[in-house]
Amino acid sequence: MTRARRLLGILNGCLSRHAGDAEQSLALIEKSALIAWLCHAGTFVLPQAERFLQEHTALADPVAQSGPWMKAVEGRTLHVLTEAYAIGGHTPLVKRWIELLDDEPHAVVLVRQGQPVEHSWVVPLGRHVPVIDLHQARLSRRARVAHLQALFRVARRVILHIHPNDACSVAAAYRSPHAEIHFLNHADHVAWLGAGLPAVLLNLRHRGARLAEVRRGVAAAACGVVPVPITRPAVVDRQEARQSFGIGDHECLVLTVASGYKFNPVGSRSLLEPLDRLLRRWDVKLMAVGVDAQHPVFGPLAERHPGQVLCMGTVPSPTRHRAAADIYLDSYPFCSITSMLESAALGTPVVAYQPDPEELEILYSECPWLPADRHPARDVGHLVESLDALIDDRSLRQEYAMRTIDGMEQHSPRAWRAAMQRHLAGNFAKTPWRKPDRPFHDGLLDQVLSGLMGDVRSYTDQPEMLGIDAIGLDQIARCKRREESGGGL
């Protein structure tokens, strides 16, 4: 965290020195926000960057010739994506939103699309939804701000589905005081730009709303909560699925699905010990989707328990894997909410390891429909005991399955549509611009996030990639020399 803070300070100094150059300043803010997002520094806000995006007059200078685009967007709900992806949960949520709220017109704008995009990623089949690609138009950052501002002015409402470092979209939102803007808090556990916006913060978890209030300074009156919409996966023959993976009739398959980093150990915090204890049972197999055999947790487990651990790597659509599973285990130290819910939608009993919930709740999935004394295991013994009980007792698995199916109703398309309509019709306080000044923290959450996220040295080892001036480069070099000589940071 200390290294990340020092680098953010160097970037802030560079931003101050080049404040007269709006284009370069936007680039520096994007880089600062990227580092704060990927390398936790003990903060969830970037006050200096927010102030620049809100106040800098030069950002409003270009005149955007946006006539055709404005005509395409006028009167529609405009979904703003920094970038669309073929896989993952981020882009499909936009597509599902458009599909489920089919009684109103929509449009999509891509701010800095880094790869060719297919409209089918974001547009439901058979729907007329204009898709505007600002990156393909080869616009400067300042021009993108101007075009976005023009589009925000004519849209019925604006939904920001943006990356944490999307400086252009946030700058445009600051300059659109009369637009109805909803900021989707899909990255609620990391720092992001936009904490000072006069917008409604739409959270996917109550935990995200609580952290936004405490650590970002977002007023509770400006927060809404709508659950993640989950469509029940396609039906797959369970027996055929189990046979395809070599799962015997008397074996219990525990499944977990997440990106590999979500399982990375942070000190003693990992699933290694509880899963090692669980796999001493001959009748248990563990399937991990999203990790390979070199993973620091699942690699050792596969060596210690030959034939019981299946590391499946990246699987775009693990439908058969879910159908074959008896129990779903959420990732740890960081949850995978959508993955957990997609298994829960099948009625698969879900289990989660959630120690220190008061400090670390933002890292964990919410399953309010399960009894609190059973579902969130608070220590290793409790987790192994919960898994053992489900493995041994089919009737208990059935009870969990029924509770899970009932609880998942709130994530059904019908329930989500009703919740979203209530949210959009809600009377939220239109808060003014606020300076989201929050001190750096060194609490347990910050320590775990710092260990879980990336190492800032991947940036300081190649400082020329940061786009900073000679003074900043010299400051980084001096910090590195001081650290290498044992003088601290």
In this structure, the answer to whether residues 158 and 261 fall within a common structural domain is no
Looking at the structure, tell me whether residues 84 and 179 fall in a common domain.
yes
**339-394: per-residue pLDDT in tens?**
999 999 999 999 999 999 999 999 999 877 776 666 789 999 999 999 999 999 99
Same domain, 16 and 139: no
User: Looking at the 3D structure of the chain, how many domains does it have?
Assistant: 3
Domain assignment present for residue 472? The answer is: yes
165 pLDDT more than 70: yes
Predicted confidence (pLDDT) at residue 85 exceeds the cutoff of 90: no
- pLDDT of the residue at 404: 87
Q: Is 2 exposed, middle or buried (0-12, 13-18, 19+ CB in 10 A)?
A: middle
Same domain membership, residue 218 and residue 96: yes
Does residue 144 sit within a domain? yes
Question: Domain range for residue 145?
Answer: 58-229+418-424
Same domain, 181 and 98: yes
Same structural domain for residues 198 and 275?
no
pLDDT for the residue numbered 433: 72
Q: Which has more pLDDT, 114 or 354?
A: 354
Supply the pLDDT for residue 368. 76
Q: What is the pLDDT of residues 179-225, one digit of tens each?
A: 999 999 999 999 999 999 989 999 999 999 999 999 999 989 899 99
Q: Is the pLDDT of residue 488 over 60?
A: no
Amino acid at 306: P
Give the pLDDT mean for 293-317: 95
155 and 302 belong to one structural domain: no
Residue 63 pLDDT? 63
Q: Is 112 found in the same domain as 14?
A: no
Using the predicted structure, report yes or no on whether residue 10 has a pLDDT greater than 90.
yes
- Per-residue pLDDT averaged across 96-106, rounded? 91
| Residues 403-410, mean pLDDT to the nearest whole number | 89
Assess if residue 398 is contained within a domain: yes
% of the chain residues with pLDDT over 70: 97
- 376 and 453 fall within a common domain: no
Whether residue 309 sits in one domain with residue 181: no
CATH number of the domain to which 349 belongs: 3.40.50.2000
Q: Are both 208 and 308 inside the same structural domain?
A: no
Domain boundary among 373, 392, 424: 424
Q: What is the pLDDT of residue 450?
A: 94
End-to-end CA distance of the chain: 11
> Do 282 and 399 sit in the same domain of this protein?
yes
pLDDT at 60: 65
Q: Is residue 51 part of a domain?
A: no
Question: Does any domain span residue 136?
Answer: yes
* Mean pLDDT score, 125-129: 91
What gap in Å lies between CA 232 and CA 341, rounded to an integer?
10
Residue 332 included in any domain: yes
Residue with tokens 């960057």: 49
Q: Whole-angstrom Cα distance, residue 231 to residue 414?
A: 10
**pLDDT tens digits, 219-262:** 898 999 998 888 877 889 999 999 999 999 999 999 999 999 99
For residue 431, being part of any structural domain is answered with no
Domain final residue pick, 395, 424, 453: 424
Which pTM was predicted?
0.91
Residue 432: inside a domain: no
Q: Please provide the size of the chain in residues.
A: 489
